[in-house]
Amino acid sequence: MSIKSVCVYCGSRHGADPAYAEAARETGTLLAQQGLQLVYGAGDVGLMGEVARAAQAAGGRTFGVIPEHLVRREVGKSDLSTYVVTETMHERKKVMLWNADAILLLPGGAGSLDELFEALTWRQLGLHGKPIVVLNTNGYWDPLRALLRQVTEQGFAGPETADYLIWADTPVAAIAALRDARS
């Protein structure tokens, strides 16, 4: 498998821990340094803005997708390598996922969870085989890991569902996981 672009799901806010923004910036820089295109929600706010600006500053390619109704709210970052405005959130998620070879989840809120669970469900249904890496900065996603364990232990999903997620504690480990997934 050859990974050339990575869809990053992350918050449109910075969150309470400054480590989240630091990890987003490091992730953007590392993606660019590895020659991996960033595919993301095209916002210039929160962690989305941090990862995109860092990727751009490191000379990386950026592909942003934003629905028309969020252009003002998320400050659509139109100076990206590719900037796509969609009509709906559903279209945004589809365009992002189909223009990436892998998924990387950073800290975020309900929107990031929505994106993750759609990608995870599509993988479970065999609609794609893309690796999904979870960057668990300072244990942010530990409750998600526990929830997925509960879902599988209670028989609502097979154990392979949780296995579709690759866990990493640092941006360096996340990029390494992506490198391993492409070999």
Confidence at residue 79, expressed as pLDDT on a 0 to 100 scale: 95
Residue range(s) defining the domain that contains residue 128: 5-182
Q: What is the mean pLDDT of residues 43-66?
A: 97
Confidence at residue 175, expressed as pLDDT on a 0 to 100 scale: 96
Confidence at residue 162, expressed as pLDDT on a 0 to 100 scale: 85
Residues in the chain: 183
Q: What is the mean pLDDT of residues 82-96?
A: 96
Check pLDDT > 90 for residue 73: no
Q: Kindly give, in sequence order, each residue whose CB lies less than 8 Å from that of residue 111, ignoring residues fewer than 6 positions away.
A: 9, 11, 12, 41
Reported pTM: 0.96
CATH number, position 25: 3.40.50.450
Check pLDDT > 60 for residue 149: yes
Specify the range with the lowest mean pLDDT, choosing from 61-65, 116-120, 146-150, 179-183.
179-183
Element (H, E) at 111: helix 110-124
Check pLDDT > 70 for residue 182: no
Across all residues in the chain, what is the average pLDDT? 95
Q: Which value, to the nearest 10 degrees, does the dihedral of the CA atoms of residues 59, 6, 98, 105 take?
A: -130
> How many structural domains compose the chain?
1
Percent of the chain past pLDDT 90, that is, above it, reads 90
Ranked by mean pLDDT, the top range of 68-72, 75-79, 108-112, 178-182 is 108-112
Angstrom distance (rounded) from CA 179 to CA 142:
23
Q: Which runs of E-coded beta strand occur in 1-131?
A: 5-9, 37-40, 62-67, 82-86, 102-105
Check pLDDT > 90 for residue 103: yes
Confidence at residue 1, expressed as pLDDT on a 0 to 100 scale: 63
For residue range 150-167, list pLDDT tens digits in order. Answer: 999 999 999 888 889 999
Confidence at residue 97, expressed as pLDDT on a 0 to 100 scale: 97
